[in-house]
Amino acid sequence: MSFGCTSNPPGTFDARIQKIRAKSPQTVTPPVQLPLWPDSTRGVPNVWLRCALFAGIQGKGRKALKRELLATVDGVEIRFSGWQLDQSDLDVWETVIHLARHHRIGNRVQFSEVQVLKTLKRSTGTSDRLWLRSALVRLAGATIEMKYGNLMFFGALLKGAGDEMTGLYVIELESRLEALYMAGWTQIEWDERVLLRRKPLALWLHGWFCSHAEPFPLGIDTIQRLSGSVNAHPASFKRQLSKALDELVLIGALVSWRLSGHRVCVIRTPTSSQQRHLIKKKRKGGR
């Protein structure tokens, strides 16, 4: 059987389509908007914060991957193709989404390089503009295949176009974003994240702990795997981890941390929304 172009009498095919539509129940899907969060935070799907998609690595060591199975929490499977992403790429992704959050999903949103860089709290010079362009291209060229519960997600992390002469960009808010946020998302304190810039493991840990209302003890080897660390020496990674955890205490993201055998135990103050979640959880558990 071959599939090609066939000639139909004028209007015949269109007429059949109209008849099918007339017999089918018509549903109107209301436009969907992303959750709204304050300017001081960034809203990020939990699944992005709990895997090696945006790895806690130095960007200089990134590799080109082809359908690489990434380290994720149980219940999530992600295969990745493209140049490996790091925490600075997450900064750009969440900033673009932050600027677009007031628009309906499916809409195209225009912004400028200067607007993004200022929101990122970076300079607007040539080197930073070039850095931003490379990050946007990397995100647009990164393809993921994800299975998350009943959700199947495949495609690029960003879809859009840019004009190098004017410095203007247009992105399209994909409909699949709604499912990612509905599955769970976290408000990240942006000022804290800025203080951790150029400290990739601390940035990854910050996202992980912020996405848990009541963080549970986590094995050092689990952190090494989920963060996408390339440090293959256990003792060296342990020192690196200790330094990153100290950084989180220093900026107030954690109250304290300690090692219990090969597991990291932390104390942090949950946000007001997380406190409400914990209260509801305790009430349900007491029934």
pLDDT in tens, the chain (287 residues): 333 333 344 444 344 435 434 544 444 445 578 899 999 999 999 999 999 999 999 888 899 999 999 999 999 999 999 999 999 999 999 999 999 999 988 889 999 999 999 999 999 999 999 999 999 999 999 999 999 888 788 899 998 888 888 999 999 888 888 889 999 999 999 999 999 999 999 999 999 999 999 999 999 999 999 999 999 999 999 999 999 999 999 999 999 999 999 999 999 987 877 877 677 776 777 55
| 64-69 vs 108-112, strand pairing mode | unpaired
Nearest alpha-carbon partner for 207 in 128, 93, 100: 93
Question: With b meaning 16 or more CB within 10 Å and e meaning fewer, what string describes 224-257?
Answer: bebbbbebeeeeebbebbeebbebbeebebbeeb
Alpha helices in 190-268 (DSSP H): 190-195, 200-210, 220-226, 234-250
Distance CA 209, CA 220 (A): 14
What pLDDT score was predicted for residue 31? 59
What pLDDT score was predicted for residue 4? 33
Which residue reads 């929101």 in tokens? 119
User: pLDDT tens digits for 92-118?
Assistant: 999 999 999 999 888 899 999 999 999
User: pLDDT tens digits for 14-45?
Assistant: 444 354 345 444 444 455 788 999 999 999 99
CB 83 within 8 A of CB 138: yes
The structure's pTM equals 0.85
Q: Which amino acid is at 19?
A: K
CB 241 within 8 A of CB 220: yes
What pLDDT score was predicted for residue 242? 98
User: pLDDT tens digits for 56-72?
Assistant: 998 888 999 999 999 99
What pLDDT score was predicted for residue 273? 76
CB 186 within 8 A of CB 46: yes
Tell me the domain boundaries of the chain. 41-276
Distance CA 205, CA 184 (A): 18
Alpha helices in 11-73 (DSSP H): 12-23, 46-49
Phi, psi of 67 (to 5 degrees): 50, 40
Distance CA 58, CA 133 (A): 18
